[in-house]
Amino acid sequence: MGKTKPSKQTETKLKRIRQLSGENSGMKFKWLMPHINKDSLIGCFNELDGSKAVGVDGQTKEEYRTNLEENIENLIEKMKKMAYRPAPVREVLIPKEGQQCKFRPLGISNFEDKLVQLMMSKILEAIFEPLFRDCSHGFRPNRSCHTAIKALNNHLHSNQCEVVIDVDLENFFGTIDHELLIKALRVKIEDDRFIRYIIRMLKAGVLSDGELKITEEGAPQGNIVSPILSNIFAQYAFDRWFEEVIQPKTRMPVKCIRYCDDIVICCRYRSDAKDILKALRDRLQKVSLKLNVAKTKLVDFSQTSFRKGQGQETFDFLGFSFYLAWSVGGNVTVKLKTSRKRLRSKLRKVKDWIKVNRHKEKLKPLWITFRLKLRGHGRYYGVSHNIEGVRRFYHEAVRIFFKWINRRSQRKSLTWEQFNKFIQIYPAPGAKVYQSLF
């Protein structure tokens, strides 16, 4: 079949694009389609996870591998002739975190479409990543939920913050304006064929319950290229506007931290916060985004008020609740813990999982899988100040596990003493700090 691993040519070319874009923010790229070639697509093939769900054509990675080089050569030939058309994505509804009976749509693309999406996302990232603002943490190299949480925590500890604007956008991915997005892309891209393929991806449609829905707006979640497109749009719609228009006008410096559509803005003065919120409403309307008025709020986070015993408000960000508390030394400090909403949601998932799987395996393999779930929770929520929150989850989750395995049958049931002896041999993971915020 010939070589199945790409050379380092693709990596070198992308690195060069990134360098040029970073050195000259006004530079436009005219010849991008040649980067989508046999070498780069084979590299993308090797990267893609073959265990992921299949698209509308049902083709798996292993089936595509059978005639890999021929398939890729045919794909490239179609793309050169502008004959390649992405298939509609297959819609799958995923339960929303912490919201019963509410779902978010996930779009599953055909395997061949994923190859093109992955290479296009690499090209877009190379061009736009050097231009993204420091406030942005979602879907970026060397950035994550934890870097966003750390940036917010550090700012609250190091600066006087009286009011936090807790921003909630309504259906961000589903309402991205295609024309405005293409306008943002054309700031750096002059390759019309590349732009046309992006448009085809956006307008490929969604197959839901056998019915084809035309997509006139939005970027389907689950599409590999959607995260970078959402960041490019957010850079145009929000980040640059906030930095260039809002920050110069405030009485004191304000800080914004954004992870995708999760946004918080820290302000010294309430008057600044009110002005920003008003300007934000107007800005979002201009870029065809919607503010969730019911969930967007001004949070009183004044340490002065807290010292006077006037109570406090809290706000949630990326699964954590931020709040004010007294330190051991008698000073007011900022702390965080797993949010109640997220804790309930995670425990509900544990319950749903053990109810479904308790009859499928014996106790030991079931417990081993369960411990992996506990570790996954601990690795995300195990941050400074939140050890007790992780311990609480572990305790409640183990209690749920014990309760439901004892509903299998009387013969298979265990007393609490017997279960304790078992977990002494195979202990649950201990709570610890995986991510220091300082």
- Confidence label for 407 from pLDDT (cuts 50, 70 and 90): confident
Residues 315 and 299: their CA atoms lie apart, in Å, by 7
**pLDDT of 409:** 64
Read out DSSP for 244-290?
A: IIIGGGSSS--EEEEETTEEEEEES-HHHHHHHHHHHHHHHHHTT--
234 burial class (0-12, 13-18, 19+ CB within 10 angstroms)?
buried
406: DSSP letter: T
Tokens for 78, please give them. Answer: 């179609």
Mean pLDDT of 161-188: 96
Weakest mean pLDDT among 257-271, 342-356, 415-429? 415-429
Tokens for 368, please give them. Answer: 């081993």
Whole-model pTM: value is 0.92
Asked if pLDDT for residue 6 goes beyond 80, the answer is: no
Residues 427 and 28: their CA atoms lie apart, in Å, by 57
How far from the centroid of its chain's Cα atoms is residue 115's Cα?
Answer: 21
pLDDT, one tens digit per residue, over 66-117 is: 999 999 999 999 999 999 999 999 999 888 776 666 788 889 999 999 999 9
Q: Which residues pair with 93 in a beta bridge?
A: 105
Tokens for 226, please give them. Answer: 């959607």
- Confidence label for 221 from pLDDT (cuts 50, 70 and 90): confident
52 burial class (0-12, 13-18, 19+ CB within 10 angstroms)?
middle
136: DSSP letter: B
Element containing residue 150 per DSSP (H, E): helix 145-158
377 burial class (0-12, 13-18, 19+ CB within 10 angstroms)?
buried
Separation in Å, CA 72 to CA 13, 42, 75: 20, 8, 5
Residues 348 and 186: their CA atoms lie apart, in Å, by 45
- CA angle (119, 125, 130) in 5-degree steps: 155
Tokens for 323, please give them. Answer: 């709040």
Helical residues (DSSP H) of 292-412, grouped into ranges: 303-307, 340-357, 363-381, 387-405
Start-to-end C-alpha separation, the chain: 52
- Structural domain boundaries in the chain: 8-132+177-227, 340-425
Task: Give the Cβ contact number of residue 9 at 10 Å.
Answer: 13
pLDDT, one tens digit per residue, over 140-154 is: 999 999 999 999 999
222: DSSP letter: T
Closest CA to 366 of 376, 380, 356: 356
Element containing residue 128 per DSSP (H, E): helix 111-128
- Confidence label for 259 from pLDDT (cuts 50, 70 and 90): very high
Residues 12 and 222: their CA atoms lie apart, in Å, by 28
Q: List all residues 6 or more positions away from 313 whose beta carbon is below 8 Å from its beta carbon.
A: 299, 300, 301
**pLDDT of 94:** 84
Q: What share of the chain is helix, strand, coil (3-state, %, to 5)?
A: 50, 15, 35
Mean pLDDT of 145-164: 96
3-class DSSP assignment, residue 437: coil
- What is the C-alpha R_g of the chain? 25
Residues 363 and 176: their CA atoms lie apart, in Å, by 47
Asked if pLDDT for residue 2 goes beyond 80, the answer is: no
Residues 40 and 228: their CA atoms lie apart, in Å, by 19
Mean pLDDT of 157-182: 96
Residues 180 and 127: their CA atoms lie apart, in Å, by 18
Q: Which residues pair with 104 in a beta bridge?
A: 94
- Confidence label for 311 from pLDDT (cuts 50, 70 and 90): confident
Residues 193 and 31: their CA atoms lie apart, in Å, by 9
Whether the CB-CB separation of 206 and 89 falls below 8 Å is answered with yes
Return the residue matching tokens 């990596």.
Answer: 11
**pLDDT of 7:** 63
Whether the CB-CB separation of 39 and 9 falls below 8 Å is answered with yes
Tokens for 236, please give them. Answer: 């145009």
Whether the CB-CB separation of 60 and 50 falls below 8 Å is answered with yes
Weakest mean pLDDT among 315-329, 346-360, 406-420? 406-420
Mean pLDDT of 399-407: 91
**pLDDT of 4:** 47
Average pLDDT over the chain reads 93
Mean pLDDT of 398-417: 83
- Confidence label for 411 from pLDDT (cuts 50, 70 and 90): low
